[in-house]
Structure 1
Amino acid sequence: MKGNCIRAAAAACLAVWAAHAQATDVFNLEGFGPVSRAMGGTGAAYDIGPGAMMMNPATLGLMSEGRYLGMGLDVVTTNIKATNTATGETAVSGNHGGNNGPYFAPEASFVYRRGPYAFGVGAFAEGGLGTQYGASSFLSRTVTNGIDTGLDNFSRLLVLRVPFAMAYKVNDKLTVGGSIDAVWTSLNLGMLLDASQIGALAAQNRVSGTLLPTLVSVPGLSGGYIDFAHKGIVGGGASAWGIGGKLGLTYRITPDTTLGLAYNFKTHVGDLTGHATLTAVSSVAGNIPIGGDITIHQFEMPAQFTAGISHRFNDQWSVSADYQRVFLASVMKDINVTFVQSGTGANLNLSLPQNYRDINVFGLGAQYRYNEKWTFRAGFHYAQEAVPNGVMLAVVPSIPTTSVTGGVSYAFGKDDVLDFGLSVGMQKTLTNSSAPNTAVPLKVTHSQLNAVIAYQKRF
């Protein structure tokens, strides 16, 4: 019942989800809302509006008094290309199906600020990833026996947060805040593993289960394919609800300089579950599909610590800077998957190595208020590379690290503002020639544009 209520609240806030947002900081968007996005993803010590609920809830206390209703839309366009460096063949992630971009992620929020208190509720896409290589590239052909399987390779991850936030102004210098978040994680995945990759997983004790002897005995086994997907505009073939939360504070060092600290706790969503098909690829019998249920174990979003500072030089110029530590190593060591065959209960367990590193993220932003109507922003955003060489999966690239940002706001009046932010993720290349996550020497290039527009009404 509780889950249904949360779903209804999310649906009311987000009328439609056209897809999801591709992230730059591995799975996280580089800033939330157009103000933060335009200013290099900063916001720990700066008034970024309702996006505070996703970064530092204490900055809700920096907003002027009143009631705020906000509606926004993220639009993400990606350019992802995988190359087999041994043959020169390429696979482009594009218009091959429902997981391809561009991706659209609406957001909605309500904030009430009065006296020392501020309250907020909203629905935001925290991030995700997405690829769609189609069914005819080298990624759909086994190295063992060279079989063109006709099986699609794709991914689609969406992490949605519904924060319930509060801020309290303790005194003229200190404001504290926090949020409790409903978190929904959903995943689509279609991935072919060559028989050589399955052998490498077995050699590393990363594949097991009562279904394994049956698969190994398939004559002419050339590969295995796992597929679970929700074909609609939102959601995944495997999903789950859980909780998350944040704590934060702002401290006014001087009338024009503010320090901000925030901690975003690791989510507690747990196992993602759904229906799936496991396909054995045989050079003798062709594709042999097996229906069943899938579980992705303990797929969580990482904890994050953020420290930021902002300074106002005068009524026109202000700047902000953030440092963030993202604790990916504790949540992305392995992707652990269990498939259970319908009717028989036979199971197959896979553990795909990831070994992500904890990363440092840096953001810089500047704002110039030209007049009462026009405000201009620019910034820079850099996140260290989290994916080690040797573990990248073609369907899970998430490799851009550097973005340049900018944006503009137009005030129709003191209570009506239209904000726009743009982030240009510079092209990044990563390679992997190591089993078990690839059967061929692989190179992936990835760049993207993240735009967000929002309207805010104060009343």
Structure 2
Amino acid sequence: MKFKLNTISMVTAACLASTGQLAQATEVFRLEGFGAVSRAMGGTAVAFNVGAAGMMTNPATLSLMAPGSELHLGLDLITTDINVENQSTGESVSSGTHSSNRGPYLAPEAAYTHRNGDLAYGIGAFAQGGLGTEYGSSSFLSRAAGGLNTGLENSSRLLVLNIPFAASYQVNEKLAVGASVDAMWQGLNLDLLLGAGQVGALIGAGRVNGSLLPVLGGLPDMRGAHFSLTKNKPLASGVESWGFGGRIGLTYKMSNDTMVGLDYAMESQMKDMDGRATLTAIDGIAGQIPLAGNIRLRNFQMPAKLDFGLSHRFNDRWMMAVDVSQVFWEHAMKDINVGFVADGGGTLDILLPQNYKDQTILALGVAYQIGNWTLRGGARLATQALRSETLFAVIPATPRKHVSAGFSYAFSKESSLDVAYSHAFEETMGNPGGTSNSADPIQTTHSQNNVTIGYTHRF
């Protein structure tokens, strides 16, 4: 038992240390599935055995695992294709790897599970999601009002890590119930330029206040304001926080071949993210006036989620799964609430509107087993959670249509390799401009590819 606990500690620590470059999320800030088995089948995971990654969706599926212990190690590699076009001038800029702060996007995962009789339990460390963009400092996104080039960065990187402690109990031959409590960490890097028109729109809507507001308003030729809360390193974030989450779930065997599952994940309970930042006032006459201070992002939460799933095995080789999910973004993501306190005195509070919509997701998956091989495929379709009028170029979390494929190969009863590939089809969204979130009319396009690899050892 001492060996097992030491293994858990080392695996969790390794995963925590490796999440410096996290995957661009594919459904707003959430990955579209956890583990290669689920990912290859369109992210379905509610009503069949997806291994240790089941603790991230429906912990009751841990009761579907074989008796004994399992150690799971995995890695996501995601490449993105993100472009923003200025609809007025025709200029465009692509997100790239302009610094050590971004890509390639890597999301490691690790977990240990054990099943003994009717009880199964596990601990893991999984990347829940995030986002990442890097537009550099010379595009139209770095121009303040009046076409003033600032040379300031526009970029983002959000990381969300879950460390679930999960357990499942087989109540009878048909019903299993499970639950998890998750320690959660999140960190954000952000460089964002707001033009004078955007600042004015926020002030007019009553979304800016604080003692620095009249100071900024008193500048002779105010052109904009820039926030920088970024640590330009592979690890570390400008602001970060810890908190917790959790979920409950069940599986019910309707027959030997058909199973249904249900789970609910609570909205996260994260502390405010805080750290150091620089607020730069941009003036056409006085130039750039940087103010260093402390910054806080208040009540930034991951949403609650409800899943219903069905799986059916047609014969010894073929099975299928269907999941329907509702993600409650509307409650979790109304505003980005920023509070800044300058070192020399003065405060500035800003509410950046987001007003996300709740999201409905349909996921389908099939699997075919032949010998030591299991072949998988899937698809996933989600409604759009973002609104065009509140779209930020640095937060283009718009993909909602995916296809996936993958396989598993069993080297022996003790070890197996799982591989999945998923493609997010290009999604286009425009902001009409003249809003608090975009000075110019812009159109973003975003697609991406994701490869997931997992290795499981049973003992």
Scaled by the length of structure 1, the TM-score of the pair is 0.96
- How does 1:126-205 map onto structure 2 within 5 Å? 126-142=128-144, 144-205=145-206
Deviations 1:114-167 (A, max 9, x none): 11011100000000111000000000011x221110001000001100000000
Q: Which residue in the other structure is 2:322 paired with?
A: 321
Partners of 1:158 and 1:235 within 8 A in 2: no
Please state how far the C-alpha of 1:275 moved relative to its aligned partner. 0.3
Please state how far the C-alpha of 1:442 moved relative to its aligned partner. 0.6
Give me the whole-angstrom Cα distance separating, in 2, the residues matched to 1:65 and 1:268: 34
Q: Which residue in the other structure is 1:209 paired with?
A: 210
Q: Secondary structure at the match of 2:130?
A: strand
Give me the whole-angstrom Cα distance separating, in 1, the residues matched to 2:272 and 2:335: 14
Q: Which residue in the other structure is 2:223 paired with?
A: 222
Give me the whole-angstrom Cα distance separating, in 2, the residues matched to 1:184 and 1:234: 14
Partners of 2:264 and 2:307 within 8 A in 1: yes
> Is 1:438 aligned to residue 451 of structure 2?
no
Give me the whole-angstrom Cα distance separating, in 2, the residues matched to 1:409 and 1:172: 28
Change (3 A) 1:351 1:7: farther
- How does 1:6-405 map onto structure 2 within 5 Å? 10-142=12-144, 144-344=145-345, 346-371=346-371, 373-405=372-404
Give me the whole-angstrom Cα distance separating, in 1, the residues matched to 2:10 and 2:315: 45
Please state how far the C-alpha of 1:48 moved relative to its aligned partner. 0.5
Give me the whole-angstrom Cα distance separating, in 2, the residues matched to 1:87 and 1:147: 15
Q: When the two structures are aligned, how many residues end up with a matched partner?
A: 451
Q: Secondary structure at the match of 1:254?
A: coil
Deviations 1:195-247 (A, max 9, x none): 01100101100111001111111222111000001223233101100000000
Please state how far the C-alpha of 1:400 moved relative to its aligned partner. 0.6
Partners of 2:183 and 2:245 within 8 A in 1: yes
Partners of 2:99 and 2:232 within 8 A in 1: no
Unaligned regions of 5+ residues in structure 2, if any?
1-7
Please state how far the C-alpha of 1:7 moved relative to its aligned partner. 11
Change (3 A) 1:439 1:7: farther
Aligned alpha-carbon RMSD (Å): 1.3
Deviations 1:243-287 (A, max 9, x none): 000000000000110000000000000311000000011111221
Q: Secondary structure at the match of 2:141?
A: helix
Change (3 A) 1:31 1:287: same
Q: Secondary structure at the match of 1:20?
A: coil
Partners of 1:99 and 1:154 within 8 A in 2: no
- How does 1:406-425 map onto structure 2 within 5 Å? 406-425=405-424
Quick one: which amino acid aligns to residue 90 of structure 1? S
- More displaced, 13-22 or 92-101? 13-22
Quick one: which amino acid aligns to residue 367 of structure 2? Q
Change (3 A) 1:7 1:238: farther
Quick one: which amino acid aligns to residue 216 of structure 1? G
Give me the whole-angstrom Cα distance separating, in 1, the residues matched to 2:9 and 2:88: 47
Quick one: which amino acid aligns to residue 59 of structure 1? T
Give me the whole-angstrom Cα distance separating, in 2, the residues matched to 1:41 and 1:102: 22
Change (3 A) 1:18 1:292: closer
Runs of 4+ aligned structure 1 residues displaced above 6 Å come to 6-9
Quick one: which amino acid aligns to residue 436 of structure 2? P
Unaligned regions of 5+ residues in structure 1, if any?
1-5
Give me the whole-angstrom Cα distance separating, in 1, the residues matched to 2:11 and 2:237: 19
Q: Secondary structure at the match of 1:35?
A: helix
Q: Secondary structure at the match of 1:438?
A: coil
Please state how far the C-alpha of 1:312 moved relative to its aligned partner. 0.6
Partners of 2:101 and 2:231 within 8 A in 1: no
Deviations 1:44-65 (A, max 9, x none): 0010001111000000000111
- More displaced, 274-283 or 9-18? 9-18
Give me the whole-angstrom Cα distance separating, in 2, the residues matched to 1:367 and 1:457: 21
Give me the whole-angstrom Cα distance separating, in 2, the residues matched to 1:194 and 1:108: 43
Partners of 2:12 and 2:110 within 8 A in 1: no
Give me the whole-angstrom Cα distance separating, in 2, the residues matched to 1:256 and 1:8: 38
Partners of 1:99 and 1:131 within 8 A in 2: no
Please state how far the C-alpha of 1:14 moved relative to its aligned partner. 4.0
Give me the whole-angstrom Cα distance separating, in 1, the residues matched to 2:245 and 2:174: 28
Identity, % of aligned positions: 49
Give me the whole-angstrom Cα distance separating, in 2, the residues matched to 1:186 and 1:350: 19
Partners of 1:99 and 1:130 within 8 A in 2: no
Q: Which residue in the other structure is 1:3 paired with?
A: none
Partners of 1:93 and 1:100 within 8 A in 2: no
Give me the whole-angstrom Cα distance separating, in 2, the residues matched to 1:46 and 1:232: 40
